């Protein structure tokens, strides 16, 4: 049996936006089944890194491979097939404002063109139940949702295509502690059931401790440390000392 390539492989990535270098010589490999938290100061380039991983921004230098494949090239069909293997939750939700919650979640399923209307309806209701929303919420428009509900609908949409890799930008920001914990449990369970690989950006140490197998610290324009929470804690750097206060 051949060894499976890492789900995410970033090598020697450098990014310049305008005149500023956001990343320099950044390397990160994420193996299948890992639940990785990406932490870093505000404005350190976490969202930018995520946008590059999903192909919305091209790196100035370096390469990014998902599932061992490059993001670009090889024709529309290959690119689309690759993009259907990961789901993204944007920091602001990025729901389609003209579509109801139901249609937002159904949209990627309809794009596949292989399910009939009842199957899609059942799948959407299932996803809603997964993120603890009620069926009557399906009829609302994004503008009629609370901030936390937007996050949950966006997660449901990201989960719609049963992705193998889930990229979440601050999924628990805006949720109450109870929901936030439920969210974390949900992601962990999905990870167990489906062998999902998850990369999430978070500022919440509680989420991070409860959920993740690995922590990646983005500071000084590169991945400063990557390992389990305890390994990362050992690392001596001002940012890490501030982010993870010493255990009492």
Partner 1 sequence: MSRAGFSETRSASGQPELLLTGRWTLRALAEPGTTAAAWQNRLRELGRRDAVSWNCLDIEALDSVGALLLWRSWGRKLPGLLLMRPEHRHIFERIAAAEREPAAVVPPRSPFEGLIVLGAGVLSVIRQLRDFVALLGQLALDLLHLLRHPGDLPAREISANIYKSGMRAMPVTALVGLLIGIALSYLSSLQLRQFGADIFIVNLLGLSIIRELGPVLVAVLVAGRSGSAMTAQLGVMRVTEEIDALATMGVSSSLRLVLPKVVALAVVTPLLVLWATALALLGGMLAADIQLGIGVGYFIETLPKVVPVVNLWIGLAKGAVFGLAIALIACHFGLRVKPNTESLSANTTAAVVTAITVVIFIDAMFAIALRNVGLPRL
Indicate which single residue of 47, 60, 84, 213 sits in contact with Mg ion (rule: CB under 5 A). Answer: 47
- Minimum CB separation of residue 169 from Mg ion in Å reads 6
CA distances from 106 to 93, 101, 154 (A): 16, 9, 12
Listed ranges 48-56, 128-136, 224-232, 234-242: which one lies at the site for partner 1 (CB under 8 A): 128-136
Q: List the structure tokens of 143.
A: 């503008």
Residue 152 and residue 130 in contact, taking contact as beta carbons nearer than 8 Å: no
Among residues 65, 18, 17, the alpha carbon closest in space to that of 165 is found at 65
- Minimum CB separation of residue 191 from partner 1 in Å reads 11
Q: How many CB atoms lie within 10 A of CB 25?
A: 13
Contact track, Mg ion, 84-123, x by CB under 5 A: -------x--------------------------------
| Contacts (Cβ under 8 Å, ≥6 apart) of 226 | 28, 214, 215, 216, 217, 232
Tell me how many helices (H) and strands (E) the chain has: 9, 10
Told to check if 134 binds partner 1 by CB under 8 A, we report: yes
Listed ranges 6-14, 39-47, 111-119, 173-181: which one lies at the site for partner 1 (CB under 8 A): 111-119
**What whole-number distance in Å separates Cα of residue 245 and Cα of residue 24?**
27
Nearest residue (CB) to partner 1, 167 versus 219: 167
Which entry of partner 1, Mg ion, ligand ATP, none binds 19, CB below 5 to 8 A by partner kind?
none
Told to check if 122 binds partner 1 by CB under 8 A, we report: yes
Nearest residue (CB) to ligand ATP, 1 versus 20: 20
Nearest residue (CB) to partner 1, 140 versus 229: 140
């Amino acid at each position: 049996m051949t060894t499976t390539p890492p789900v995410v492989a970033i090598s020697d990535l450098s990014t310049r936006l305008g005149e500023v270098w956001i990343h320099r010589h950044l390397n990160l490999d994420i193996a299948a089944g890992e639940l990785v938290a990406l932490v870093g100061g505000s404005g350190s380039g976490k969202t930018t890194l995520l946008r590059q991983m999903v192909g919305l921004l091209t790196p100035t230098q370096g390469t990014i491979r998902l599932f061992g494949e490059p993001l670009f090239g090889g024709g529309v069909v290959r690119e689309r097939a690759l993009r259907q293997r990961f789901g993204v939750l944007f920091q602001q939700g990025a729901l389609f404002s003209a579509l109801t919650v139901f249609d937002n979640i159904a949209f990627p399923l309809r794009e596949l063109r292989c399910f009939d209307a009842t199957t899609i309806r059942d799948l959407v209701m299932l996803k809603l139940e997964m993120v603890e929303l009620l069926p009557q919420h399906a009829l609302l428009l994004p503008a009629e949702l609370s901030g936390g509900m937007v996050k949950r609908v966006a997660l449901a949409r990201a989960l719609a295509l049963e992705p193998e890799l889930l990229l979440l930008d601050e999924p628990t920001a805006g949720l109450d502690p109870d929901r936030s914990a439920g969210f974390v449990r949900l992601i962990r369970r999905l990870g167990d059931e489906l062998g999902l690989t998850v990369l999430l950006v978070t500022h919440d140490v509680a989420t991070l401790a409860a959920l993740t197998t690995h922590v990646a610290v983005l500071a000084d324009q590169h991945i400063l440390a990557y390992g389990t929470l305890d390994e990362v804690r050992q690392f001596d750097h001002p940012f890490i000392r501030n982010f993870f206060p010493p255990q009492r």
